[in-house]
Amino acid sequence: MAVTGIAARAPRRTPSLLDLLYRPEVRQVLFQIILIIALAALFWMIISNTAANLRRQNIASGFGFWNTTAGFDISQTLIPYTNTSTYGRVFWVGLTNTLLVASIGIVFATMVGFIMGIARLSTNWLIARLATVYVETIRNIPLLLQLFVWYFAVLKTLPPPRQSLELVGGAVLNLRGLYLPEPLPQPGFQIPLAVLALGVLASIAIAVWAKRRQRLTGAQFHTGLAALVLIVVLPAAAYFLAGAPLEFDYPTLRGFNYTGGIVVLPEFLALVLGLVIYTGAFIAEIVRAGIQGVPKGQKEAASAIGLSTGQTLRLVVIPQAMRIIIPPLTSNYLNLIKNSSLAVAIAYPDLVSVFAGTVLNQTGQAVEVILITMLVYLSLSLFTSLLMNWFNARMALVER
Amino acid sequence: MAVQQDLATGAGLAVASAPMPPPRSEVGVIGWLRHNLFSSWSNGLLTVVALYLIWKLIDGILSWGIIHAVWSGEDGSACRVEGSGACWVFIKAKIGQFIYGRYPEGERWRVNLVFILACAGLVPLMVPRIPGKAWSAVYTFFIFPVIAFWLLTGSASGPGAGPIDLMGLCLAIVATVAFALSRSSSARVPPQTLRLAGGVCLVLAYPLLVRWLLSTSGLVDLRPVATELWGGLLVTLVVASVGITGSFPVGVALALGRRSRMPFVRWASVGFIEFVRGVPLITVLFMASVMLPLFLPAGVSFDKLLRALVGVALFAGAYMAETIRGGLQAIPRGQFEAAQALGLSYAQRMGLIILPQALKLVIPGIVNSFVGLFKDTSLVLIIGLFDVLGIVQLNLTDAKWFANSTAMTGYVFAALVFWVFCFGMSRYSQMIERRLAAGDRR
């Protein structure tokens, strides 16, 4: 009865166009059509305006500039480059410089981050506090400011070459950069190298064999000791037996400057120091959270079955902590790669500095240059994510 | 029982009934030292190394920053003396520039007033004990920005801009009509839709109307100050606060777009987020400063500061979107379905049910994005705006103050400014997090 009452009260209306608007499916389609039209209009406006502006300002478009002579010098080149090289060459020089600083930065930032992250969890109160001060100070100061400190306030106030600071092992530090002794292999150096290569291969083989044997019989093998002998002791012995066939080219003061050795530019040094210390603080927090994320019961169970502290860490805690650590670690690696573009502020010749800076200013082709630069960083990010996703998949918990 | 009987038969009943005090070496200062610093040989060694490090650090900071520091003087000559520490007199001489940039000295009271008005809005909003949050929010997000814009630029004075005033007037008329229609029952469109439209129009119209009123009445005549003259802390705070308030709605919209059931909306959001997150902020700022003028029709030009603001807000918005998406994914499906079953519209479902829960979950992430954005404001110096770091860097080239320690002094000052804001933000978020978690912790 109640049902008929309601039905009676609700008057039947013929559905109108406005009612159609209240249907979710209709609305969704309409909304998307509006969005597509708006975006298309935006892009069309941008493209037509850009074309008109470029025509008006007489700026060439297209990639013709790629093969034009650049005509400027670059302070650090990993591939052959002179000022008669092309803009295309400049791009590759900048890209290799970016890759160099990013890869060195990633390696050292990971080391600093893991050491500091573990130090924050140290049972030693002072060490834990020191690590906390490091993390809380560095994380809250902009990277650009830290780069300026390293470059302008530290490395650029070093003494000139004549009063250089002498470091251990014949290295020299002064206003012009860090001078390291350069190893020069002499004839006969191939022998210890070959022994080293063989030692690495043999160690891998032994590791595989030992693992299989342990799985089958439970008997353990001193893989680490064997590897130490094969990789360190034997090549060292071969090196000295062959008569130490390695000489060093030490940097020496000639006139007003040092010659010889490997020169590390102060710009490079400042960028690596800044990136490593800044990113290290973030990685330290990730490592700490990862280790704390492993349930306490896991550690207790490990010690209950008689594993030593080292074994507990190596076999139980770290593999589980890695699952928590890897995804945020990836995004920090990506940040480091992107942050290396701050090189432009301290004149380290990276991709943004020489390509999106100097080349853009000389050619005026902002659209092409910025687009290429963005594409490079996009693909670098994509590549690193893929690599880390693969690593993550290997480390992830295998469930049924 | 057995133990007690044993003890009772033994000689020392009186002694045993009260528990023995722990050994001297296990409690108090000595016990703490033993446990936390010298629990083993290696630990003791670490402690000694740490003590040495701390001594070196404190000694270095004290002798550089206080004992050998230069506190007075007319120029950098005192700082050029061999062995002198921090050149604090440089900061003292330049502090006006570091806070206001090249803002005309006679007009700096306007900046001070904006700082005071901002505090007047933020303090009641942020301290949980002060009541009247709704009114503080209205003041901070609607009234204050308009006043601050007018005070800082002084653009309300001077000749009126006809079309903008007309637009404000039209919007106000539309808002009035919408509100009037929502009262009458005969309208085909539901009243809440009309009220929403009226509200949006009113919010848009109000700053334009205020501008019009101020310019026509001529009551207060402020000298216009071009944004090229702004600098120092003023620019840092303007970029950071506009970036934060701008990136939040952008982030929410992109996060909802990425979770949308409409394929095109989803693709557009994913494309934007992934593109922006894949490139460095510098390239986005370069794009805003070099390419944006090319995108606009001839004759139309944007203010440089405004371009940087748009770039920063969009960049931070993409990061914000990913943080918020994490929160949205953590909300159980049942919440969406229950909201749908109650017959709530999409806006109501999201605004009343999903977002409040999701945002609460990701407060730490959101504040992390804010801190990151605050630090990123220093990058605007690369496109020629002078924030705190930029103005310090600019003043370091002043030959009058040239000395070995000037650079470090300036950077330490800038670092302190950034550190105070960033550390404060993260501590504040931890407090809020604890307050919001109070309900879950019984």
- DSSP H or E stretch at residue A172: strand A172-174
* Residue located via tokens 């016990």: B31
Q: pLDDT digit string (tens) for B96-128?
A: 989 998 888 888 888 999 999 999 888 888 888
Neighbouring residues of A163: CB distance < 8 A, sequence distance ≥ 6: A174
Residues 370-389 of B with CB under 8 A from A: 371, 375-379, 381-382, 389
Low-confidence ranges of chain B (pLDDT < 50): 1-3, 7-8, 10-13, 157-160
> CA B94, CA B107: separation in Å to the nearest integer?
17
Instruction: Please report where in the chains the tokens 């050029």 appear, as a residue.
Output: B80
- Distance, in Å, from the CA atom of B101 to the CA atom of A156, rounded to the nearest integer, reads 26
CB-based contact A203:A231 (threshold 8 Å): yes
Task: Indicate if the alpha-carbon torsion angle B264, B268, B271, B277 is positive or negative.
Answer: negative
Q: How far apart are CA B355 and CA B328, in angstroms?
A: 7
Residue-wise pLDDT for A50-70, tens only, equals 888 888 877 777 788 888 888
Distance CA A58, CA A326 (A): 50
Which 40-79 residues of chain B touch chain A by CB within 8 A? 43, 46-47, 50-51, 53-54
Count Cβ neighbours within 10 Å for each residue of B154-166 and write b for 16 or more, e otherwise. Answer: bbbbeeeeeeebe
Query: Which neighbouring-strand residues pair with A179?
Result: A172, A263
CB contact under 8 A, B46 and A127: yes
Average pLDDT, chain A: 86
The model's pLDDT over A94-129, given as tens digits with 9 standing for 90+, comes to 999 999 999 999 999 999 999 999 899 888 888 899
> Which of B53, B270, B279, B284 to substitute to test the interface with A, most A CBs within 10 Å?
B279
Q: Give pLDDT tens digits for B281-325.
A: 988 888 888 888 888 887 777 788 888 898 999 999 999 998 999
Across the range A151-160, mean pLDDT stands at: 86
A159: nearest CA partner in chain B: B404
**Overall average pLDDT of the A18-36 stretch:** 83
* Residue among B265, B266, B294 with most chain A CBs within 10 A, to mutate: B294
ipTM of the complex: 0.84
Specify the pLDDT at position A269. Answer: 92
pLDDT of A234-274, one tens digit each? 888 888 888 777 888 888 887 777 877 788 889 999 999 99
pLDDT of residue A7: 47
* Interval A174-199 mean pLDDT: 85
* Start-to-end Cα distance in chain B: 38
Confidence at residue A134, expressed as pLDDT on a 0 to 100 scale: 94
What per-residue confidence (pLDDT) applies to B157?
45
Q: Residue B113 burial by CB count (10 A; 0-12/13-18/19+): exposed, middle or buried?
A: middle
Q: What is the pLDDT of residue B437?
A: 75
**Higher-scoring residue by pLDDT: A349, A77:** A349
For A303-341, how does the pLDDT look when each residue is reduced to its tens digit (9 = 90+)? 999 998 888 888 898 888 888 888 889 889 989 999 999
What's the confidence (pLDDT) of residue A9?
53
CATH class assigned to A87-159+266-395: mainly alpha
pLDDT of the residue at B168: 77
* The dihedral sign for the CA sequence B261, B266, B269, B275: positive
A142-165 average pLDDT score: 88
Contact B48, B64 (CB under 8 A): no
